[in-house]
Structure 1
Amino acid sequence: MPSTVEELSPNRVKLTVEVPFAELKPSLDKAYKSIADQVTIPGFRKGKVPAMVIDQRFGRGMVLQEAINDALPGLYSKAVQETEITPLGQPEVEVTKLEDGDVIEFTAEVDVRPQFDLPDFSTVAVEVDAVEVSEELVERQLQSLRERFGTLTDVDRPAAEGDVVSIDLTATRDGEPLQDAQAEGVSYKIGAGGMLDGLDEALTGMSAGESKDFTSTLVGGPARGTEADVHVTVVKVQEQELPELDDDFAQMVSEFDTADELRADVVGRLANMARQEQAAKARDAVLEALVAEIDIALPEGLRTGELEARKQQIQNQLNQAGMTLEQYLAESEESEEAETPEEFWAEVEQRATQALKAQLLLDKVADDHEIGVEQDDLTQHIFRRAQQSGSSPEQEMQHMMEHNHLPEWMTEIRRGKALALVVQQATVTDSNGDPVDLVNLAEDGSLRDPSAEAASVESPDSPDSPDSPDSPDSPDSPDSPASPASPAETESR
């Protein structure tokens, strides 16, 4: 199947493909069969109408058109493989020659991955924050654990900070109740914050049966952002009694015998979480540094399509939350960087551009290093998604099949493996100047012992063959590949 490639621009080409008419025969037979199954012609059983009769009744042109439409996707894919181009997006296809029984010719204009050179990964150096587990954070975790096993006792006294109160709330404006701004029997810990500004101050000193009015800005529901008059009534005041952090408590809430062992476990878990966060930041930093080093001219259609998709996703999320962009910016921490809608959309455009460049870079790394995706990679990816979403692997598998996510997930896995390869060659240090070990970082954030792992897989029958098929996977395949998705926006399922 002769094909030629004409470069229209550095990132757009025109394929001209000549197809011998014989290659159209399977689609032509399929078209005749489809038409025969749909029409009723006297003297012929349904589905048994000869091709000659269909040509006479409906015209050969209609049959050819249906056959060509059926064959074009496969013919285009074959031409792409033969010419070894890397398409980005959907092609614009036009049939330029049709000689019945002889030849078909079509053209396809499509954006392609621009040509660029990869930098030397070993020259990339980034710095991330050192892993630190503060005593304050440890104490907060232990305090939270004590509160989970604490007991509440009704008290006949004014409420104070740390007490748990049961309250009724009603919000009005100009004397009229606001929609979905009433609640009864709400349990609230004084000092916790996060419900209504001024609520802690109003509740402090109130006893069961007492009421108070104050003014606040609502933070949820249809009246979000509305200043309202709030009437609060205390139904019950309870004092929280916390268990002592001793050996008995440790034995009750964990598998440990002593409070010291429990504390050490908390410290270890927090350290693992911090290492996971550090690793994610390291991957992002390396990728960002690489993108800054290369000059990639993005196809305009690709960039515009990505930007519009992100805008639509953000707008849908705002609509679901019942918020305007202005309200979101007023309440979000991101408002420190983007104070106006214009600034916000400019940031979204910049992130979309950087994300596309990162994806193109990782795809080239994967191609150049012939990185593939194995069944085990997909299985581990499904398990990770299930763990993150609180679902089961079976549910994730069903979701993948129902929504045809397999190609998308395979691409995500491949890019993750490419990023892992890049990160392992880069130099990553923490703010203390110490190297960050990402090779031996397990999925839970703990650090593997490479010597112990090697010993555990050594075969007694062939101790001198470390490269046997039973040896562990190469570190080029990380346990937790990072997605090169843009920061800030969340991905919809």
Structure 2
Amino acid sequence: MKSAVETLNPTRVRLTVEVPFEELKPSLDAAYKKINQQVTVPGFRKGKIPARVIDQRFGRGAVLEEAINEALPKFYTEAVTEGELADSVLGQPDVDITEFNDGNELKFTAEVEIRPALQIPDYSGIEVTVDAVEVSEEDVDKAIEQLRDRFAATTSVDRPAAEGDVVVVDLEASVDGKVLDDGIATGVSYTIGSGQLLDGIDEAVTGLEKGGTATFDSDLQGGSAAGSHATVKVVVTDVQERELPALDDDFAQLASEFDTLEELRADSRKRLERVKSYDQATQAQEKVLDALIELVEIPIPEKLLASEIETRVHNLEHHQFPALGLTWDTYLEREGKTREEHDAELEAQAIKGIKTQFVLDELVKTEKLSVSQEELTEHLVRRAASSGMTPDQFAQAVVEGGQVQLLVGEVARGKALATVVEAVKVTDSNGQEVDLSDEDEDETGETVQAADSATEEAADAATDTEEGTETAEGDTKDA
């Protein structure tokens, strides 16, 4: 077999392949064997039909077609390897048989998208500014109030319901005058003003006493009629007043392991500082990533971009919309966008995600970064926690789905971004230089994930791109 590579543009190549007819013999033998198992000819046992009889009965052309379909993936893979493109090809190739006659050599071309060759410039001069880690007394007060709210007691009262009260209600939802089978709920506790139930319920129950009834209109967010406009009848069966505990040492002992309110406030401050430090690190990762992408010229493969956009739209329509009871109209209304504006944002996110993956993968190579078993295990544990699975369950799902290399790629990209973040200058809004290399072990672990957490689209694009690369060879036959 002979092959040659022609560069069509920075993200696409054409492979020209010539295969001597004798190299097709194993595929011809396999074709005869396959047809032998599928057909029946009187006078011959199944699987024992001579090749000449198959040619006579079913035509030599059918055998040649089957042989070529079986051989193309193998010869395409050999051409990719011969052209040193194994780590570059993306997605499915477009295959065209340019010349073939029985007994003569097979000639075909395969056009396929590839990762563009990137030049990573010196990035040490990148400078970004992030928010300073500042925790005010108001921040601590708010945190204590939220904790205090969790320990509020409720007492039934004989008065009209007001904002902040808890009402116990029975609900009955109707669409076009018909009560829904799953539209009845009883004994539902709801805090007026929390916004955690149905739009319109706050206005309906405010001012009602125990036994009071009202109706209101609302768009249903779930259930059999999700997305429908419904009339909801509400009956108040109890009105309860919430009483917050006093802010004293007794409260500190009730709500925490601390003996005094002052100790509880000090611990709340430390927790807020840790949260803001993590937010600061994430902000630095995002800004450094944006600055790095700006430094590198990154061509975008057209088919990869189109596939990424299609995947995102599919996820919206077939996963997110049904779960939230949304349609395109209600979704766009909620987002305050036109379809054109949404599509433009989606394309921009996809482009950024693809650029992120290409740049960080190139950095993994140039910086010679590797992933240890310990790092992969730590990453797997974090991913399992975020998915609601145990580490063993998640690991089993990853292995069975053939996703181990995808996880390795996530860790490697995170390390690449961490390498850049540590090399650049990060200053906070107070003018103080921020050293992100001194994070504790857990926070460093999150930084290793930064390629996927700094921007959600980076993770999506990285996964889709790698999956496209892995399936390219297997889909050559269909192409």
TM range (shorter): 0.7 to 0.9
Find the partner of 1:405 among 392, 403, 406: 403
Find the partner of 1:351 among 345, 349, 352: 349
Whether contact under 8 Å (1:442, 1:479) holds in the other structure is: no
1:296-335 map, 5 Å: 296-316=298-318, 317-332=320-335, 335=336
Segments of structure 1 that go 5 or more residues without pairing to the other structure are 448-474
Find the partner of 1:274 among 260, 271, 276: 276
What is the deviation of 1:380? 2.6
Q: In structure 2, do the counterparts of structure 1 residues 48 and 136 end up closer, same or farther at CA, with 3 Å as the change threshold?
A: farther
What is the deviation of 1:388? 0.9
Q: 2: CA distance between counterparts of 1:29 and 1:258?
A: 84
2:381 partner SS: helix
Whether contact under 8 Å (1:382, 1:396) holds in the other structure is: yes
Match of 2:82 in 1: 82
Match of 1:428 in 2: 426
What is the deviation of 1:122? 0.7
Match of 1:440 in 2: 438
Aligned: 1:119 with 2:121: yes
Find the partner of 2:263 among 261, 265, 271: 261
Q: CA RMSD in A?
A: 3.7
Q: How many residues align?
A: 456
Aligned: 1:483 with 2:452: yes
Say which is worse superposed, 482-491 or 99-108, in terms of deviation: 482-491
Q: 1: CA distance between counterparts of 2:439 and 2:50?
A: 67
1:29-48 map, 5 Å: 29-41=29-41, 46-47=46-47
Whether contact under 8 Å (2:36, 2:49) holds in the other structure is: yes
Q: In structure 2, do the counterparts of structure 1 residues 259 and 484 end up closer, same or farther at CA, with 3 Å as the change threshold?
A: closer
Q: 1: CA distance between counterparts of 2:100 and 2:227?
A: 63
Q: In structure 2, do the counterparts of structure 1 residues 212 and 24 end up closer, same or farther at CA, with 3 Å as the change threshold?
A: same
Q: 2: CA distance between counterparts of 1:198 and 1:50?
A: 79
Q: 2: CA distance between counterparts of 1:427 and 1:51?
A: 72
What is the deviation of 1:91? 0.9
Q: Deviations over 1:107-136 (max 9, x none)?
A: 211122233422221122222222233433
| Aligned partner letter, 2:68 | I
**Percent of pairs identical after alignment?**
49
2:109 partner SS: strand
Q: 2: CA distance between counterparts of 1:178 and 1:329?
A: 28
1:122 partner SS: coil
Whether contact under 8 Å (1:12, 1:112) holds in the other structure is: yes
Match of 1:470 in 2: none
Between structures 1 and 2, the one with greater helix share = 2
Aligned: 1:156 with 2:154: no
Q: In structure 2, do the counterparts of structure 1 residues 231 and 11 end up closer, same or farther at CA, with 3 Å as the change threshold?
A: closer
Whether contact under 8 Å (2:118, 2:362) holds in the other structure is: no
What is the deviation of 1:42? 5.7
Q: 2: CA distance between counterparts of 1:330 and 1:340?
A: 8
Q: In structure 2, do the counterparts of structure 1 residues 44 and 331 end up closer, same or farther at CA, with 3 Å as the change threshold?
A: same
1:277 partner SS: helix
What is the deviation of 1:32? 4.1
Q: 2: CA distance between counterparts of 1:275 and 1:54?
A: 74
Q: In structure 2, do the counterparts of structure 1 residues 94 and 373 end up closer, same or farther at CA, with 3 Å as the change threshold?
A: farther
Q: In structure 2, do the counterparts of structure 1 residues 225 and 140 end up closer, same or farther at CA, with 3 Å as the change threshold?
A: farther
Aligned: 1:14 with 2:14: yes
Segments of structure 2 that go 5 or more residues without pairing to the other structure are 465-479
